[in-house]
Chain A
Amino acid sequence: MLRVEHLTKVYENGTVALRDVSFTVEEGEFLVIIGLSGSGKSTLLRCINRLIEPTEGRIIWNDIDITALDEAGLRRVRREIGFVFQEFNLVERLPVILNVLAGRLGYVNPWWSVLYYFPKGEHQRALAALETVGLADKAHNRASDLSGGQKQRVGIARAIIQEPKLLLADEPVASLDPVLAHSIMGYLERLNQEKGVTILCSLHYLDLVQRYATRVIGLREGRIVYEGTREDIRRMTDEEFKQIYGEEAQRLGG
């Protein structure tokens, strides 16, 4: 269970990205965060594994206070939290297999790993993860040779190999076309349903939200302005919609 308590983030230039955000995520949930660009979605996700240091508030995950951890403790927690990025964030000049193996950096012997050496078992694990996302044949290509959808699948394989209990996904499909989007979201859904990984995912398209989310929270200007289930999204009123996306927003379809 993940508990976010009174989380506030103020950047050094004075921008307030999050204001007193509190919510709870149960084990095995698929929580989707919606909101405009700049509403604080990315900041919220990055605060959870402390890629960004929160200014105030606490994040408690399975009784561990992540915000109070020292560096070594933080690394131990991070290796169990996967992260999937909008821009994939692969190391383009390294082969796919090393990009996937990077997911094991928190587990393996650090001295060997800095020489790009991983034990055989880890290699098999990485190949299996690539198999899951259907890219086993690309294992030795350079990551820069892949297409956008393939890159994101490698990104997911990197998260899978971490054997995460929690997966944070920051708009994982925003840079991909709609068909690819469903395939990527499908992988996340399988992780969620088959392995019981808790997923926190920020999304742009409401149809995707309705299709995959078990619960939804809406952020606007760093505040939670909406909380509901998948069914609530379907029944969402114009008023609620405008509360999340602002007065000028227009609803299209769904």
Chain B
Amino acid sequence: MPKKILRVLYTLLSLGIPGLGQAALGDVRRGIYIFLGAFILAGLSVFTAAQRARFPEQVYGLSAAALLRLGLASLVIFLVVRWVYTMLTRRLAQDEFTQRIAEGLFVALVVVLFSLVGPSLIQRLLPEEALKQLYTTLLLGMAVVLAWLWWWNARDAWNLAGQQETNWNGFIALVMVGTVILGTRIVGIDLPKAIREYRETGRILGDILWPWRAAFDYKATELRATAKIQAPCPPGSTPPPVNEPTEEGPWVVVEPTCGELSTRDEKGKLTYGTLLHIRGGGFVPGKKVKIKWENPIGNEFTPRGLGPTEIRVGPDGTFTSELYIPDVVIPTFAKGPQIHKLHVVQPGALKFTGKLSREMKLALQAMLESIMIGLMATFAGMLFAVPLSFLAARNLMFTLRTSPQGLVGGVLGLAAGGWVGWQASQRVALWLGGLEKAPVAVAFFGFLLVGGGALLGFRLLGWALDRLSQHLPGWANAAIRYGGFALIGAAMGWPLGLGYAHGILGIVWDPEEVAAAAGDIARIGAGLGALAWGYLAYRWGNSGFVPIGQWVYTVTRLILNVVRSIEPLIWGLVGVIWVGLGPFAGFIALTIHTIAALGKLYSEAIESIHPGPIEAIQSTGANRLQTIMFAVLPQVLPHFTAFSLYRWDINVRMSTVIGLVGGGGIGFLLIQWIRQVQYEHAGLAVWLIAITVSTLDFISASVRKRLV
């Protein structure tokens, strides 16, 4: 029977390498899926197991071998069990339903058996040192899954060779179970630990959940009486006078007022000093008083093991007690008689003063700071995002085209105008007194002159060359095109070449070689750039249009997307490096992120407007700016407002955490209090954040609903 032999052969192929049999049978895709599934799961198991070891590279081989052994053992066990199972169910079950039930029960039985026998089985199968390094539970689970996968794969090959369908569900379920087991291990999910240690969290969580006690100041209303005692008591010294009972308020009388300290030897054995007799009165009847000792340098403590320290006051407000003078360590330079104090303290209720605590005031102040950071960042972001969003709107930019000659003129004008602007700004800066003296004015005029010059040059020369090209013969236009494009390409290639020479690709050169070769490499770069742009010039021809708007759109979008994908917390680090710790850094971080996020949202709002009004306004002879003001802006304004509000909402939320990296606001206080283990104060901050954010969320949501 050669057919049967072939079937066995394919199955063996799959047993050797999962999926090979299927692939050989012609179903390459199925084979690849199975192989990848098994390979990735097995690889991850080995990797995860080995990661626990100190020297992973030593363990890879070991754990792989161990895993293989385990897998084979599991397979054998599984086959035997499976055989028993089929024998059993065939006898037992008649209809499908009973069979399903039996199947389920059997699986449960196997799982229970495995978890009971498994660990000892592993000890038999694995060498001692490997066992130490492997996470046994994981390995056990994974071994079962992998063995099962192997078996499924072999059976699949067997079925496929016999032209029968196997259900994919088994494979998918196995891969998922394996992934969950591995994920549990990699994430470090440890349920027993979570259950064991929840109580500790409860205490802290309580502080955070209800921190309002810390929001106010309280006055302690305690009754306190003090007696002075001298120790030691050398003859001839004058001890402090004995107190007299008073009519008003608490009093305490201690006798004698002079005595010897208790002492403790090296082994910790205590020798009692003088016994003090204590009488007191004028306290609240029926409640306890506490005895406290204050040493000569002013430290108060409760003496232990020298007499009662908590005494119940009698119905007439008096009490009596006794106490040995405690063992107070006196430094050698302070030998001689010292005055100690004995306090009798009766704590009363805390009295609510109605004043906010210092921490609450701080938190409120910081919260205000956070809201302001969010607000200012939103304003500043809007300012920059509005013009940018017009550059990133597909429908506005894609109509912007120019002739190749116009592009050449524009780029030349851009460079020339920028250069003239730069020169002018240098003069202006000198006249203003330099960057140090008038930073804002210098920067402002610098941007204005360079940007304005570049823009003006771009418009003027672009327009001039575009007009000129209509009156020039074809060969002259071609000359402008090729020459100009080559120049642009060279200008772009030059810095790339130079950068390559200086190792922007991570190639480290000998500095001397760089100095010698940089010029050549830059020239090569320029040449390559010129060639590339020369090809563009060839492709577009004289009459072709350069989609310059599309370029601007693509570049703007790219920048916005990159900036947006970097979280504000990371921009916060940049801000802190730039302007130092504080709310200004947070403001910078949020502004940068807001520009990118709002720029994208705004531009999408612009893209979704009706094109009709644009056509209508254009056909009245309006220019580009008029068209934007009349046809675009009225349509997008409600959306802009809604997005800005939404962003303010986000910014306030972000500003509460920007302080974590030093960006000011309430986050700064929060992280400080958490690190000082002042959970009650941290709770105050958390509550303030929650209240503010949810209020703002509600307000902005209801306003937005009315807008759009």
Q: Kindly list chain B residues whose C-beta atoms are within 8 Å of the C-beta of A116.
A: 629
Interface status of B626 (Cβ within 8 A of chain A): yes
The answer to whether residues A70 and B620 also contact, given A87-B612, A93-B637 and a CB cut-off of 8 A, is: no
When C-beta atoms are compared, the residue in chain B nearest to A161 turns out to be B620
Q: Kindly list chain B residues whose C-beta atoms are within 8 Å of the C-beta of A49.
A: 619
Interface status of B57 (Cβ within 8 A of chain A): no
- Please tell me if the beta carbons of A94 and B467 are within 8 angstroms of each other in the complex: no
Q: How far is the CB of A102 from chain B (nearest CB, A)?
A: 5
Q: Kindly list chain A residues whose C-beta atoms are within 8 Å of the C-beta of B635.
A: 91-93
Interface status of A66 (Cβ within 8 A of chain B): no
- Please tell me if the beta carbons of B630 and A94 are within 8 angstroms of each other in the complex: yes
Q: Convert B7-50 into 0s and 1s, putting 1 for each residue whose CB lies closer than 8 angstroms to a CB of A.
A: 00000000000000000000000000000000000000000000
Interface status of A89 (Cβ within 8 A of chain B): yes
A85 to B610, CA, bound (A): 13
Q: Kindly list chain A residues whose C-beta atoms are within 8 Å of the C-beta of B466.
A: 70
Chain A residues close to B by CB (< 8 Å): 46, 49, 51, 70-71, 75-83, 85, 87-94, 98, 102-107, 110, 113-114, 116, 155, 158, 162, 168
Q: Kindly list chain A residues whose C-beta atoms are within 8 Å of the C-beta of B621.
A: 75-80, 105-107, 162
- Please tell me if the beta carbons of A70 and B612 are within 8 angstroms of each other in the complex: no
Q: Kindly list chain B residues whose C-beta atoms are within 8 Å of the C-beta of A113.
A: 626, 629
When C-beta atoms are compared, the residue in chain A nearest to B616 turns out to be A89
Q: List 28 A-B contacts (CB under 8 A).
A: A46-B615, A49-B619, A70-B467, A71-B623, A78-B618, A79-B620, A79-B621, A81-B619, A83-B615, A83-B619, A91-B616, A92-B613, A92-B634, A93-B634, A94-B630, A102-B616, A102-B617, A102-B630, A105-B617, A105-B620, A105-B621, A105-B626, A107-B621, A110-B625, A110-B626, A114-B626, A158-B616, A162-B620
Q: Kindly list chain B residues whose C-beta atoms are within 8 Å of the C-beta of A76.
A: 621
When C-beta atoms are compared, the residue in chain B nearest to A104 turns out to be B620
When C-beta atoms are compared, the residue in chain B nearest to A77 turns out to be B621
The B617-668 residues at the A interface (CB cut-off 8 A) are 617-623, 625-626, 629-631, 634-635, 637-638
Q: Which of A51, A81, A91, A104 has the most CB of B within 10 A?
A: A91
- Please tell me if the beta carbons of A105 and B630 are within 8 angstroms of each other in the complex: yes
A104 to B625, CA, bound (A): 15
A105 to B620, CA, bound (A): 6
A82 to B620, CA, bound (A): 7
Q: Kindly list chain B residues whose C-beta atoms are within 8 Å of the C-beta of A77.
A: 621
Q: How far is the CB of B401 from chain A (nearest CB, A)?
A: 9
A155 to B625, CA, bound (A): 21
Q: How far is the CB of B194 from chain A (nearest CB, A)?
A: 56
Q: Kindly list chain B residues whose C-beta atoms are within 8 Å of the C-beta of A98.
A: 630
Q: How far is the CB of B255 from chain A (nearest CB, A)?
A: 93
Q: Kindly list chain A residues whose C-beta atoms are within 8 Å of the C-beta of B610.
A: 89
Q: Which of B610, B617, B619, B634 has the most CB of A within 10 A?
A: B619
Which of the residues A71, A89, A114 comes within 8 Å of B615, measured between beta carbons? A89
Which of the residues A51, A89, A103 comes within 8 Å of B613, measured between beta carbons? A89
Q: How far is the CB of A206 from chain B (nearest CB, A)?
A: 27
Which 10 A-B residue pairs are closest in the complex by CB-CB distance?
A106-B621, A79-B621, A89-B612, A89-B616, A105-B622, A83-B619, A78-B621, A93-B634, A75-B621, A114-B629
Known: A93-B635, A105-B617, A105-B626. 4 other contacts (CB 8 A): A51-B615, A85-B615, A94-B634, A155-B616
The B344-390 residues at the A interface (CB cut-off 8 A) are none
Q: Kindly list chain B residues whose C-beta atoms are within 8 Å of the C-beta of A158.
A: 616, 620
A103 to B618, CA, bound (A): 10
Q: Which of B626, B631, B638 has the most CB of A within 10 A?
A: B626
The answer to whether residues A106 and B630 also contact, given A85-B616, A89-B616 and a CB cut-off of 8 A, is: no
- Please tell me if the beta carbons of A102 and B634 are within 8 angstroms of each other in the complex: no
- Please tell me if the beta carbons of A90 and B630 are within 8 angstroms of each other in the complex: no
Which of the residues B623, B631, B638 comes within 8 Å of A91, measured between beta carbons? B631
Q: Kindly list chain A residues whose C-beta atoms are within 8 Å of the C-beta of B617.
A: 91, 102, 105
A230 to B208, CA, bound (A): 86
- Please tell me if the beta carbons of B620 and A106 are within 8 angstroms of each other in the complex: yes
A100 to B285, CA, bound (A): 91
Q: How far is the CB of A112 from chain B (nearest CB, A)?
A: 11
A110 to B627, CA, bound (A): 11
Q: Kindly list chain A residues whose C-beta atoms are within 8 Å of the C-beta of B629.
A: 113-114, 116
Q: How far is the CB of A81 from chain B (nearest CB, A)?
A: 7
- Please tell me if the beta carbons of A91 and B630 are within 8 angstroms of each other in the complex: yes
Q: How far is the CB of B609 from chain A (nearest CB, A)?
A: 10
A93 to B610, CA, bound (A): 12
Q: Kindly list chain A residues whose C-beta atoms are within 8 Å of the C-beta of B623.
A: 71, 75, 105, 110
Q: Kindly list chain B residues whose C-beta atoms are within 8 Å of the C-beta of A102.
A: 616-617, 620, 622, 630
A51 to B622, CA, bound (A): 12
- Please tell me if the beta carbons of B626 and A78 are within 8 angstroms of each other in the complex: no
Q: How far is the CB of A65 from chain B (nearest CB, A)?
A: 12
- Please tell me if the beta carbons of A51 and B620 are within 8 angstroms of each other in the complex: no
A98 to B626, CA, bound (A): 13
Q: Kindly list chain A residues whose C-beta atoms are within 8 Å of the C-beta of B616.
A: 83, 85, 89-91, 102, 155, 158
The B383-434 residues at the A interface (CB cut-off 8 A) are none
A51 to B613, CA, bound (A): 12
When C-beta atoms are compared, the residue in chain B nearest to A98 turns out to be B630
A168 to B621, CA, bound (A): 14
Q: Kindly list chain B residues whose C-beta atoms are within 8 Å of the C-beta of A107.
A: 621
A239 to B291, CA, bound (A): 121
When C-beta atoms are compared, the residue in chain A nearest to B637 turns out to be A93
Q: Convert B253-279 into 0s and 1s, putting 1 for each residue whose CB lies closer than 8 angstroms to a CB of A.
A: 000000000000000000000000000
A93 to B626, CA, bound (A): 16
Q: How far is the CB of A54 from chain B (nearest CB, A)?
A: 14
A117 to B621, CA, bound (A): 17
Q: Kindly list chain B residues whose C-beta atoms are within 8 Å of the C-beta of A155.
A: 616
Q: Kindly list chain A residues whose C-beta atoms are within 8 Å of the C-beta of B626.
A: 105, 110, 113-114
When C-beta atoms are compared, the residue in chain B nearest to A93 turns out to be B634
A83 to B619, CA, bound (A): 7
Q: How far is the CB of B223 from chain A (nearest CB, A)?
A: 73
- Please tell me if the beta carbons of A78 and B619 are within 8 angstroms of each other in the complex: yes
- Please tell me if the beta carbons of B613 and A90 are within 8 angstroms of each other in the complex: yes
Q: How far is the CB of A48 from chain B (nearest CB, A)?
A: 10
A83 to B614, CA, bound (A): 12
Q: How far is the CB of B637 from chain A (nearest CB, A)?
A: 7
When C-beta atoms are compared, the residue in chain A nearest to B612 turns out to be A89
Q: Kindly list chain B residues whose C-beta atoms are within 8 Å of the C-beta of A80.
A: 621
A79 to B626, CA, bound (A): 13
Q: Which of B467, B630, B638 has the most CB of A within 10 A?
A: B630
